[in-house]
Amino acid sequence: MARLLFSPVLLVYHVSLLLSAISSATVENAPDCVAVGTLISSCTEFVNYGYPDPIPGSSCCDAMTVLGSYSDSSDKKRWLCNCFIDLINVFNSNATAISTLSGFCGIVLGFTIDPNTDCNFIQ
């Protein structure tokens, strides 16, 4: 069986495409949460198994950095928060892992990733 290898060049290419799609969107025309899910997919091992911890410079933390750079307004933070809540609802058994990603990566999103967060009150 062939094994997929991830090239750093391809990762940078895909992250830049996603960042471009995310950053060019207005809140009214916000990208759907698939882009967030795609970025977070680089954290799959941690989300599914709880290890290895993401560290700054890893592909997982690079994805969180992209998302952190997007959360520069209240509307974008609320949108991003709702995307994380959707991910937590889908991967409920892994909610704790998802909620700790920004902390492990040292990224400030402007809200707490938690199933009990009410994204409507984010400022």
What's the whole-number average pLDDT of the chain? 79
Of 75, 79, 88, the C-alpha closest to 35 is 79
The b/e string for 39-74 (b: 16+ C-beta within 10 A; e otherwise) is: bbebbeebbeeeeeebeeebbbbbbbbbbbebbeee
First-to-final CA distance of the chain: 49
Helices (H), the chain: 8-23, 34-40, 44-49, 59-70, 74-90, 95-105
Instruction: Please state the pTM of the whole predicted model.
Output: 0.72
* Res. 19 pLDDT band, cuts 50 70 90: very low
Mean pLDDT along residues 1-26: 42
Of 40, 78, 79, the C-alpha closest to 62 is 40
**Residue 46 has what pLDDT?**
93
Burial class (CB within 10 angstroms; exposed 0-12, middle 13-18, buried 19+) of 2? exposed
Rounded Cα distance, 86 and 88, in Å: 5
Q: What percent of the chain has pLDDT over 70?
A: 75
* Res. 14 pLDDT band, cuts 50 70 90: very low
